[in-house]
Amino acid sequence: MLNLQQLLGKKDLFFDLLEASAREANTSIQSLSKFLESPDRLKTLDEFILSRRKEKKTTDEISEALCTTFVTALEREDIAALSVCLYKIPKTVEKIAERIIIAPAFINNVDITRQVLMLDKATQTLLAMVQSMRAGENLEKIKAHNDRLQVIEGEADKLMLELLKTLYSSTSDPIKVVFLKDIFEMLEKVADRCRDAGNVISHIVLKNS
């Protein structure tokens, strides 16, 4: 495929920013994993806020660069779309942490480790896709990464249904049911965000291959 770096007016600028954004998405998931490790530890949103602010700063830099940098062949809309998809990941993760802090007792004895591990794999795969795009790797390599993302997203859907089935059959407290359902759905939404970002990358590479 054509090396996408050749299509950009400023060497490496957008790739640097997009890779930093994908890396921050993974960092937010790792922060969530650590957040859930010690249920008795005083929890704060500091790490999530920092991650989301870094992502927002990168998104703003991409928007500014799109206005000031000439881009040939590679469409500005594609870069903007990928940037938005990546930004939504840490933003949604922060919302999950916010809900848990509001009512931490509801999450006690509820294991969402498998979901978080899936999201870690998804964001790592997404980072690999951005790096592969930067390296100008062929469409087949990008497609293999994207296929992996689709599988992870499908597994996340199935796991959410399992968790909901267990929740509805074992919990009589309606407030707890609503609370946990919200958490499960937001976790699944993060997987959707990763899938969406992967689809944008595949679309970019396909158009320029």
Where do we find the tokens 């991650």? 51
Q: What is the DSSP letter of 137?
A: -
Q: Which residues of 78-91 are buried (b: 16+ CB within 10 A; e: fewer)?
A: bbebbbbbbbbbbb
Task: Give the per-residue pLDDT at 2.
Answer: 45
What mean pLDDT comes out for the span 45-63? 87
3-class secondary-structure state, position 9? coil
In contact, 182 and 122? CB cutoff 8 Å: no
Tell me which of 6-20, 29-43, 57-71, 112-126 is least confident: 6-20
What does the pLDDT average to over 166-175? 87
Pairwise CA distance, residues 115 & 193, whole Å: 14
CA–CA gap between residue 101 and residue 64 (Å, rounded): 35
Contact 137, 1 (CB under 8 A): yes
The CATH architecture to which 4-207 belongs is Up-down Bundle (1.20)
First to last CA, the chain: 4
Q: Kindly list the domain boundaries of the chain, sorted by start residue.
A: 4-207
